[in-house]
Amino acid sequence: MITLAFIGLLGGLITGVSPCVLPMLPIIFFAGAGAGAGTGTGADADAQAAAEAGGTSTRRDLRPLKIIVGIVVSFSVFTLVGSVILSALGLPDDFLRWTGLTILTLVGLGLIVPALGHLIEKPFYRLPKINRNDSGAFVLGLGLGTLYVPCAGPVLAAITVAGATGNIGSRTVVLTVSFALGAALPLLIFASAGSRISQRVKSYRSHARGFRIGGGVVMILLAGALAFNITDVIQRELPSYTSGLEKKVAENKTVQGALAPAIGNASAELSKCTPGAAELASCGAAPEFRGTQKWFNGSPTTLADLKGKVVLVDFWAYSCINCQRATPHLLAWDKAYRSLGLEIIGVHSPEFAFEKDAGNVGSAIRKEGIEYPVVQDNNLATWTAYRNQYWPAKYLIDADGTVRAITFGEGDYAQTEQQLRDLLTTANPNTKLPEPVDGTVKTDVGVDGRTPETYLAYSRSTNLAGTSGKLTPGKTVAFGVNPTQPNDTYSLGGDWAVGTQSVTSTTGSRARLNFNASKVYHVLSGHGTVTVSIPGEPDRVIQVDGTPNAYQLVDSPTAERKTMTLTYTPGISAFTFSFG
């Protein structure tokens, strides 16, 4: 536990000085200076100023600490069980954030308009045996904790997955609290500085009023900037000066070993399956569906109920273009092989909040003509149990309930069909299978002259055409981009850490892609930015933050032949390019 607490504290400290916390600093500064409900925001604040500046109020000195404690409590609780609370109350996913923004705006208005400040203070007048100044600072901290969104490094990722899956034990709590404390310590410095400066300024009545009004204006402006994500634009322009240190922490074996129980180490045998391998393997018992919500096209089922059948578990999200392209193949397999012992189960694991809505999912199922069972996995519990990393992803399970093959992303449809045919024959040697149906399925991949999906990793690399560098798994390789990129190929530049599923940017990492399409998507994970440069067009900056997602790089009305150059900050994993 001591090691875990130290890792959490270290991860929090790194996050606490990262660019992600910059929007919070002015808020914390003025909060420590007295910007809060029940903290002297009314007209009597000026009258109290001289006495406070002279040091006669020892309770006032506790305000910064009370605010930070409120942030730690709020952040810890809502990070771990916020989704559960919102779900139980039937509230939207962004309710907590808007609550925090409302509190921040009201506090700012209370500083500017003393009458409103009195109204904010009133609830604290009734608190027995508790000084309302201190309690107001703590409540303000609770509100600010809902707005605190630090960079998702390895520690916070472990906490988030544990919270999303409900895998919360004493280790997760220790990790969460220690992380929150580490991240809050730099904020405490700013809150204390604001308190000291305000006490000096408030020794003069006229200065106190101006300081109070100025703090209110700053808080309201920052609330608006946070509401409309204006602060994100500013943060993207800043260098990620803590990414290198975060990477070292993430790659440390001690850290990885300590975080594994918090993230969950279920179904470790699945690592025996190499995604995309043509040969069937034996990768342990398939995890049961867990933490799911609504079932479509049938009643809830379990893998135990499906023993004796070959099962294809398909992870997808309805707005994912790659998933939409894969769906026709699944529909064809369901039609051809369901009566022969194949059961397809779609696991809808949302990329975005709006994809959690059961009505939206149901509409997509009807639109696509999906008739096989689909279950919602809004908390990514089943996704995590399968150690999944992609949209879409297919897991083939034999009649005995053992995972035999894994396919990430689009493609390899003929191979997947042959594998499921082999499993059907093994389950029932007397089964007479029809001719393979994959060749009859209409697909958008590579048709009409469009560039086919391109994989960057070692295990499934396609269309790599560079001046230097060879994909060597487990090593950091120096690559060279082509001055002129051949059609429908890509090249890498700078140093890349090569993996079996992705390549990860390190120093001077670039990519050059020649494509013919109207839409281009790039599956990325990690934390940082990707700058997209296309001749004759303004550069675009893509903010990458989190687990693998498809980021849209191009959205044109018609397909065109173009070449783009991508520049990656360190620590971004690149998986595929897909085209529409």
Each residue's pLDDT expressed in tens, for the chain with a length of 580 residues = 787 788 778 777 877 776 667 767 777 777 666 544 344 444 344 444 444 444 444 444 577 787 778 778 877 777 677 666 766 777 776 677 677 778 778 877 877 887 776 676 666 555 444 444 455 677 677 777 776 655 544 455 456 555 555 566 777 788 778 878 887 788 788 777 767 776 666 555 556 677 778 777 877 887 787 777 566 555 545 555 665 565 456 445 566 456 555 444 556 778 778 777 888 888 889 999 998 999 999 899 999 999 999 999 999 988 676 687 788 899 999 999 999 999 999 999 876 555 778 888 898 898 888 999 999 998 888 888 887 767 788 999 999 999 999 887 777 788 899 999 999 999 998 888 888 886 555 444 344 567 877 878 765 566 788 878 888 888 899 999 988 888 888 999 999 998 877 899 999 999 999 999 888 988 888 999 999 999 999 999 999 987 777 788 998 888 889 999 999 999 999 888 888 7
- For 449: left if phi > 0, alpha if psi spans -120 to 50, otherwise beta; the answer is left
Cα of 506 vs its chain's centroid, Å: 21
Angle, CA 68 vertex, CA 63 and CA 72 arms, to 5°:
150
- At 488, list the tokens: 């429908």
pLDDT of amino acid 262: 44
**What is the Cα–Cα distance from 461 to 469, expressed in whole angstroms?**
13
pLDDT of amino acid 461: 64
**What is the Cα–Cα distance from 288 to 144, expressed in whole angstroms?**
39
Instruction: Please name which of 240, 202, 166 lies closest in space to residue 33, comparing C-alpha atoms.
Output: 202
pLDDT of amino acid 338: 92
Q: Given the DSSP bridges, would you call strands 374-376 and 342-348 parallel, antiparallel or unpaired?
A: parallel
**What is the Cα–Cα distance from 398 to 404, expressed in whole angstroms?**
7
Q: Which amino acid is at 24?
A: M
